[in-house]
Chain A
């Protein structure tokens, strides 16, 4: 058994720094590269892409990235775990196989494919058997949005990824797998942890939580003494150095920017946290109130003492559904009296929308530079502000009403208050809203599947 493994985070979301994975591979020793691509509504975007083109439906960036780093990964034995497969895991894996052969790495790369998360074709059958897939937040039954569903995926945990690694796969590509599972699986695989070793599973899960948002654990978006954080231009992404006993060290490559400090790790630990006593994943329930932190050197924080409890009998399901349309229009008003002018423009705009008889589910006005982020807590807006941006958003089921709204913004320049600019981008775009519906499904309903492809 290895004494320690180094798992490097390389993408905190689909669209994170493009060179981060390359720098993690080139910047020093690592054993695993972990890439999290899937936000809550990403699956629905991919589902749409696949409907138009059966070869699409996955994180396309992953393939050119593999072209850049695969030779180094093969040479140094670095394994990759990524939920880049979206709703077309096989298509993603096929594309990576082509890249491997192209690079002359045929016979040297095995790819593990984890599927079984996609329950879109099974929705009616599940509902008919009384599995209601009620919205976890609102309690509503799924039948209220049944005809508008665009994607439905269960979150798979670490174990199917472990099975894929056991086949000798160098790259494991999943669909909707939890971001924490992508980090925990290598630890289970390398250290032989048992399925009921709850404390260690919770440790690996928390390691995953810390590094899953990329540089947010190594100096990015860090409030603590933010002016002192060195060289964010060259920020190093976090690396979890895990030990067989479940303890781990968060660090980053030497000679990179950013920092790994206890206050920064604490900020990431509380990020998107619910009840800290029960952080629920498919693999375990982790207790964040047991986490201990200490320095083990510069840019090295040791994490230990973590306790966990048995996993629940359910998996979370992420369902996306079409929920109408929205558009946001903006204009910028300058000194003097910028805030008063922006307010006046908002009143004029709303009067015109009323006169047109347009109906919206919601109209929201914000004044950027005055109160858009802190609302009433920001105090009374000052009229000597150098500029204020008027930002008006509308939302509704009726696309033509939203379209009409987008035509009412630019005319305010010639027909409203003075000293206004900021319309260079043209008319606001009408966006289809794809909303998120979280639900639970009994674990026995989901059977993960693991396949292997050899380049």
Chain B
């Protein structure tokens, strides 16, 4: 079944120049390895098609149950050059939480129960 990330994680995002960063934080220890497995850099790049024009890097922080993504070329030039409403990428966090991942019924049920 499809589970939207907003049910499994919270996030905060920010900017460094034209790169947006998104920290994705699992709601429980059980959820973190599933995020590592499902929310790959490649999937995030696909998800942000038409928004992120560069590469996506992913870093793991098992100590925080978190993943950090860097979305290059995403902020219309970044900083003061950008014309975007969200030139600082503050709402990229919730844009990532829109992503749906496909999980077996019983795994999804146990993860949702772990929150």
Residues of A within 8 A of B (CB): 40-41, 137, 221, 223-224, 263, 266-277, 288-293, 305, 323, 326, 328, 362, 364, 366, 368, 372-377, 391, 393-395, 433-436, 438
Contacts and interface: CB of A to CB of B under 8 A. Distances in A.
A376 B23 contact: no
Contact of B63 (A291, A362, A364, A395): A291
A434 B21 contact: no
A394 B23 contact: no
Interface in B50-67: 50-51, 57, 59-66
Contact of B85 (A362, A366, A435): A366
Contact of A435 (B13, B65, B80): B80
Contacts of B18: 137
Interface of B: 10-19, 21, 23, 25, 47-51, 57, 59-66, 68, 70, 76-77, 79-81, 83-86, 91, 93-95, 98
Nearest 9 CB-CB pairs, A to B? A270-B23, A393-B83, A272-B14, A364-B83, A373-B91, A267-B12, A223-B10, A372-B85, A376-B50
Contacts of A293: 64
B30 to A, nearest CB: 15
With most chain B CB atoms within 10 A of its CB, the pick from A270, A288, A375 is A270
Given A267-B23, A364-B84, A436-B79, A223 B93 contact: yes
With most chain A CB atoms within 10 A of its CB, the pick from B15, B59, B70 is B59
B47 A377 contact: yes
Contacts of A221: 12
A394 B98 CA distance: 30
B78 to A, nearest CB: 8
Contact of B79 (A41, A266, A271, A292): A41
A157 to B, nearest CB: 19
B96 to A, nearest CB: 9
With most chain A CB atoms within 10 A of its CB, the pick from B50, B83, B98 is B83
Nearest to A363: B83
B25 A40 contact: no
Contacts of A305: 63
A269 B68 CA distance: 10
A267 B48 CA distance: 21
A275 B25 CA distance: 16
B23 A290 contact: no
Contact of A224 (B10, B48, B81): B10
B68 A270 contact: yes
Given A276-B61, A288-B61, A376-B51, A269 B83 contact: no
B21 A276 contact: no
B21 A274 contact: yes
A132 B64 CA distance: 38
A435 B87 CA distance: 13
A289 B49 contact: no
Given A270-B12, A291-B64, A377 B98 contact: yes
Given A433-B81, A435-B81, A292 B12 contact: no
Given A373-B85, A434-B80, A289 B17 contact: no
A263 B64 CA distance: 9
A362 B18 CA distance: 15
Contacts of B91: 373-374
